[in-house]
Amino acid sequence: MTNLLLKLSAAAIALSAMTSVSNAEDLVFTLKNNTKGTLERFYTSPVGVGTWEEDVFGADVIEPGESMEITIGDGRSVCKYDMRFEFTEDSNIEDLEDTQDLCAMGSYTINMH
């Protein structure tokens, strides 16, 4: 009986560890396009990573004045991300980059000054 309890306890601990890894908290925020151009691509990468990860939008875009809920579900437990925003060519807006603590944000607005 003791051997069975030890095996069940070990299995429960292993299952608990796997569950906590697979349920890493996603970063969710609203991205608002407050420019006159169409936002075509949005890349993120944790601060310190030397390359951009895949386009968050996929086939989607954010038109001027629109917003989109963004979920970064990369399984990492970091908050500071580098971001790159690319607009359609006819928008005549140069690509923009920024770094923010996404855990502390409910929304991010791209503004043109």
pLDDT in tens, 63-98: 999 999 999 888 888 889 999 999 999 999 999 999
The confidence band for 13, taking pLDDT boundaries of 50, 70 and 90, is: low
Q: Delineate the domains of the chain, giving CATH numbers in brackets.
A: 25-111 (2.60.40)
No. of helices (H) and no. of strands (E), the chain? 1, 6
CB atoms within 10 A of CB 56: 16
Provide the pLDDT for residue 19: 36
Is the Cα torsion angle 9, 10, 11, 16 positive or negative in sign? positive
> Which pLDDT band, with edges at 50, 70 and 90, does 1 fall under?
low
Residue-wise pLDDT tens digits, 24-65: 578 889 999 999 999 999 999 999 998 999 999 999 999 999
